[in-house]
A = this chain, B = another copy of it.
Amino acid sequence: MSGVPAAIVRPRERIIAAARELFHRHGIRGVGVDTIADAAGTNKMTLYRHFESKDELILAYVRTVAAEGETMWQEIARDHPGDSQAQLDDWLMRAAECVSADGRGCDLANVAVELTEDNHPARKLIEQLKIHHRDRLAALCRAAGVVQSEALADTLTLLLEGARVCRVTAGRKGPSAEFIHTARTVIESFEKKPKAKRKDTTHKGIEQRRTIA
């Protein structure tokens, strides 16, 4: 009854998993539906019974990548409850992993680059996801006591996206190699709210922790 058999992975999930891998490696335009169906251990006909077009499969791919991003944010919050400063640090480490992972850059950005039609539904979805990610980061910066939290979120977003694309264009030894150091320097250059009400312009004591909670 509750044994293994019922847990066999359905074709739909295998197709999504195969698309996830192949789209990531060869790009959206670089892989056909035949290849995906084959890699999923099924056939094109079954694929088209679950996705009415390749565009819909691309949308499912984007949603899958987005879900992984959502999982990341949840893990960050779970691993450092109430410690926004540690959450920001964790975000930075995970971001650095994304940069140096495998040199294929950001999957969402790659899709946006390959989808040159302005009104493609996947592009609109990606736009929402990217804005959402930036807003989450801004909220985290604010919680961590950064005064110009919006500006820092914008800056960190640009640095991360730049590092990922530079990893693709300039290789492992390019500007992305120093991403962590670069981001840390920028973060430290932003002023943080002191515990006291008055601004503290001391030129050395900018290192208090847990400013907000």
A113 to B113, Cβ gap below 8 A? Answer: yes
Q: Mark A1-45, 1 if CB is under 8 A from B, else 0.
A: 000000000000000000000000111011000000000000000
Of the residues B104, B106, B158, B201, contact of A163 by C-beta under 8 Å: B158
B-chain residues with CB within 8 Å of residue A166 when the two chains form the complex: 130, 157-158, 161
A185 sits at the interface (CB 8 A): yes
Kindly identify, within residues 153 to 174 of chain A, every residue whose CB is under 8 Å from any CB belonging to chain B.
153-155, 157-166, 168-171, 174
A101 sits at the interface (CB 8 A): no
Of the residues B161, B185, B189, contact of A165 by C-beta under 8 Å: B161
Cα A27 to Cα B120 in complex, Å, equals 15
Q: Mark A122-135, 1 if CB is under 8 A from B, else 0.
A: 00001100110010
Number of copies: 2
Cα A113 to Cα B127 in complex, Å, equals 18
B-chain residues with CB within 8 Å of residue A189 when the two chains form the complex: 186, 189
Cα A2 to Cα B100 in complex, Å, equals 57
- A interface bracket (residues with beta carbon within 8 Å of B): 35 or more
A114 to B29, Cβ gap below 8 A? Answer: yes
Given known A-B contacts A162-B158, A174-B134, A182-B151, A168 and B113 have beta carbons under 8 A apart? yes
B-chain residues with CB within 8 Å of residue A104 when the two chains form the complex: 116
B201 to A169, Cβ gap below 8 A? Answer: no
B-chain residues with CB within 8 Å of residue A185 when the two chains form the complex: 151, 155
B-chain residues with CB within 8 Å of residue A164 when the two chains form the complex: 165
Cα A20 to Cα B169 in complex, Å, equals 19
Q: List 9 A-B contacts (CB under 8 A).
A: A25-B116, A27-B116, A151-B178, A151-B181, A155-B182, A162-B163, A165-B165, A186-B189, A203-B203
* For the complex of A and B, 6 pairs with smallest distance between CB atoms: A162-B162, A158-B162, A161-B162, A130-B170, A189-B189, A154-B175
